[in-house]
Structure formats: C-alpha cells, structure tokens
C-alpha cells in the first residue's frame, strides 16, 4: 500500500462528553474536505456499541475517498465496514488481526523500539507505525520518545510503509518526513481547525 503523507486520527477522548456523534462526524467531514484520505477512529473509553455507532455513521457519511481504519478492535472494523485495523503491542497480533479481517483489508501495527519494528517487519502488517517521536499528551503512559534519529533508524530497519506518531505538528512534520517517514499520524494538531490544518499539513509535506 502507499500511505498518504497525513494519517489523521479521530480520538473520541478529545471530544467533550457526553460525546456527540454529530460532532464526531462533522469533524471527520472537515478533515476529508481538508484533504485527509486516511483516517483512524480511536475510542479508548466508551462502549463497543457506542464505538460501532460512531464508526458506522462515519463510514456512511464519508464517501469511498477516505480509507477508514479502526483502532484496536478487529470485530468493529468488520462490523462498521472499515477498510483496516490498527493494533498495538497489547492488542491482537498482526497475524491474529489478519485472520479476522482477511487479506483485502489493511492491518497496521504500532511499534515503539527497533526490536518491535523488526518483528513487525517480519509479520503480515501492511504498515508499521513508530513512536512517540516527540512528547505527546494524547496517549496514556506513552513509551519513551524515539526522536527524529529514532525515525531514521526505523527507516533503515524496514521497507514497509512507515507511519510516525506522537507530538507531530505542522512545525515538525517535515523533519520527520525528511528522516524517512512515509506518513505522519496526528491527533492534537488537527483538533482546533481540522479542515485548514489538514490542508496545511498536506501542503508542507509535498
């Protein structure tokens, strides 16, 4: 697969509670208008039924121009007719996720050090996410930051598509791409003006 430069993550935890499905869908739409073509739905706190309801509505409203990836849950990926599943080190293995979603959907995996990158490289994941590159407030108990030098080392360790994540903003995104990342995954720096910010990210990484 070829990754777009920007991989937007819609993290339900960043929306004020009670979470409005309309607000989530509107956010996803704004990102899409801003040029986002790869979007992950991430919900760490709510129920599975709520996540499925959000995901189905996002799937319904966004046309096929946006590739939708479900965080953590392969079952919800299938139930919402998403295009892929993203697993972390404590979730289903990429192999297990692949068994659930099949060959035609995307499987992505998070890694936090070179050993994990090499393991992911040898497995069935379609892309490898690596980070946190910089300090992040969007993840509970994040692993140690890997820095731009870490990205360079990860790039040398795999030929699979490489997504970088963690503290990436419009100010530092270019440095991460120049270190060899194919794509940057972003939560915070899209939140306040999703359409305009997505457009800026994409322009500065051409």
Contact status: 166 vs ligand TZP (CB under 6 A): yes
- Nearest distance from residue 135's CB to ligand TZP, in Å? 8
- Comparing CA positions, the residue from 192, 186, 191, 2 lying closest to residue 204 is 186
* Residue number with CB closer to ligand TZP (66 or 186): 186
Percent composition of the chain: helix, strand, coil (DSSP 3-state, to 5) = 40, 20, 40
d(CA 139, CA 132): 9
Between the two ends of the chain, the Cα-to-Cα distance in Å is: 18
Contact status: 147 vs ligand TZP (CB under 6 A): no
Name the helix (H) or strand (E) containing 97: helix 94-101
- Nearest distance from residue 21's CB to ligand TZP, in Å? 22
Binds Mg ion (CB under 5 A): choice among 88, 96, 123, 147: 88
Q: Which stretch binds ligand TZP (CB under 6 A): 26-34, 116-124, 129-137, 174-182?
A: 129-137
Point out which residues bind Mg ion (CB under 5 A): 72, 88, 91
Annotated catalytic residues are 42, 110, 139
């Amino acid at each position: 697969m070829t990754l777009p430069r920007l991989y937007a993550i819609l993290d339900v935890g960043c929306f004020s509670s009670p979470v409005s499905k309309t607000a989530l869908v509107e956010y996803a739409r704004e990102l899409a208008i801003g040029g986002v073509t790869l979007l992950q739905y991430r919900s760490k706190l709510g129920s599975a039924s709520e996540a499925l309801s959000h995901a189905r509505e996002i799937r319904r409203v966004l046309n096929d121009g946006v590739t939708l990836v479900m965080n953590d849950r392969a079952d919800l990926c299938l139930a919402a007719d998403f295009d892929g599943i993203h697993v972390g080190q404590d979730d289903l293995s990429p192999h297990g996720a692949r068994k659930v979603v099949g060959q035609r959907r995307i499987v992505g995996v998070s890694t936090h050090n070179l050993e994990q990158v090499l393991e992911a490289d040898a497995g069935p994941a379609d892309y490898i996410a690596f980070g946190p590159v910089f300090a992040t407030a969007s993840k509970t108990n994040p692993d140690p930051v890997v820095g731009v030098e870490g990205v360079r080392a990860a790039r040398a360790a795999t030929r699979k598509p490489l997504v970088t994540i963690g503290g990436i903003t419009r100010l530092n995104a270019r440095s991460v791409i120049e270190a060899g990342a194919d794509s940057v995954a972003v939560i915070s720096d899209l939140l306040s003006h999703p359409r305009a910010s997505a457009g800026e990210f994409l322009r500065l990484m051409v």
